[in-house]
Amino acid sequence: MTQPDLVHVDTVRKNYAGPAGEVTVLKGVSLHVRAGEFVGVRGPSGSGKSTLINMITGIDRPTSGAITIAGTRIDQMSENTLARYRGLKIGVIFQFFQLLPTLTVLENTMLPMEFCRVWKPRERGERAYMLLEQVGLTDQAHKLPNTLSGGQQQRAAIARALANDPPLLVGDEPTGNLDSRTADRVFQLFADLVAQGKTFIMVTHDNELAARIPRVIQVQDGVLLEGQEHHVSERATGPLHLGPNGHSAVTDLHLNGRAEHVPQTAAQ
């Protein structure tokens, strides 16, 4: 319990300028994630899930409030400091994989090491190879991304996210563009990573997957709801078990049943 939070979102507001004036997407939300936690983020389309995730990765800045990652405030960092910090501490996984199309899988994996100048140049290839082994892609290492299947590309993207050995991994619907079998395999990879000590925050629409995440946050009307109890940003009471039978996951499933009735709009 004395262990500090890895992620600390403190009363964060986020306004966007819309056509009809300011729109508040996040209404002063707080969230604490401890090292080693596996957190799911759910909510209807347009509820602000991506906005929340972008706050945590530093891709976007809050209107007010504070974001602290591993004890460091990131919301006031300069672009460059943030880029470097993110490169070292946060692995970001996108829905559309976002591998650089002209680099091979191996090279994509090595690129963050090169940018952040971690590991000696000679060691980088070896390490990237090891990471690809971990995601089961060694046989595809020298292929270009667009020759791979979606699942393979996402596994390559995971290897890339792990390149600099960041403590925190964040994914915005990382399985959203995969068929359910592939999604399942990729999810298992996430679970393995958490088991190895990584902290993982992911947005998902998938009920079955969400059911397997020990802690699920519900985003609705700009506030965060934790599990069944409609606590806003209450600190979780302890490490939750992995697997589909976790308590909060079950209640979450129930909640999610309602969420699914919200009509899906075109955008993610």
Ligand X SMILES: Nc1ncnc2c1ncn2[C@@H]1O[C@H](COP(=O)(O)OP(=O)(O)O)[C@@H](O)[C@H]1O
Q: What is the largest CA-CA distance in the chain?
A: 55
Structure-token pair, residue 223: 């506030």
Contact segment (CB under 5 A) with Mg ion among 50-58, 97-105, 193-201, 221-229 equals 50-58
Window 169-228: residues binding other proteins (CB under 8 A): none
Q: Which is nearer to ligand X, 134 or 268 (CB)?
A: 268
Q: Helices (H) and strands (E) in the chain — how many of each?
A: 8, 10
* Chain residue at closest Cβ approach to ligand X: 50
Q: How many residues bind ligand X (CB under 6 A)?
A: 12
Pick the closest to residue 210 from 166, 160, 260 (CA basis): 260
Q: Would you say 92 or 202 has its CB closer to other proteins?
A: 92
Q: Indicate which of ligand X, Mg ion, other proteins, none lies near residue 11 (CB less than 5 to 8 Å, by partner kind).
A: none
47 makes contact, choosing from other proteins, ligand X, Mg ion, none, with CB < 5 to 8 Å by partner type, with: ligand X
How far is Cα 69 from Cα 257, in angstroms, rounded to an integer? 32
* Both structure tokens of 266: 């075109």
- Helices 180-195 and 150-161, interaxial angle, to 10°? 20
- Selected from 2, 80, 237, 265, the binder of other proteins by CB under 8 A is 80
Within 13 Å and on the Cβ side, how many CA atoms surround 237? 6
At 248, which amino acid appears?
S
How far apart, in whole angstroms, are the C-alpha atoms of residue 61 and residue 29? 14
Calpha distance 30→224 (Å, rounded): 8
Out of 42, 160, 198, 212, the residue judged to bind other proteins by CB under 8 A: 160
Angstrom distance (rounded) from CA 214 to CA 204: 13
Min dist. Cβ of residue 207 to Mg ion (A): 17
Least distance to ligand X from the beta carbon of 51, Å?
3
Instruction: Decide whether 102 or 264 has the Cβ nearer to other proteins.
Output: 102
Q: Is the CB of residue 94 less than 8 Å from the CB of residue 173?
A: no
Residue from 25, 34, 50, 211 in contact with Mg ion (CB under 5 A): 50
Binding site for ligand X (CB under 6 A): 16, 18, 25, 43, 45-51, 268
Binding site for other proteins (CB under 8 A): 54, 57, 59-60, 79-80, 83-84, 86-88, 92, 94, 96, 98, 100-103, 107, 110-112, 114-116, 121, 146, 160-161, 163-164, 266-268
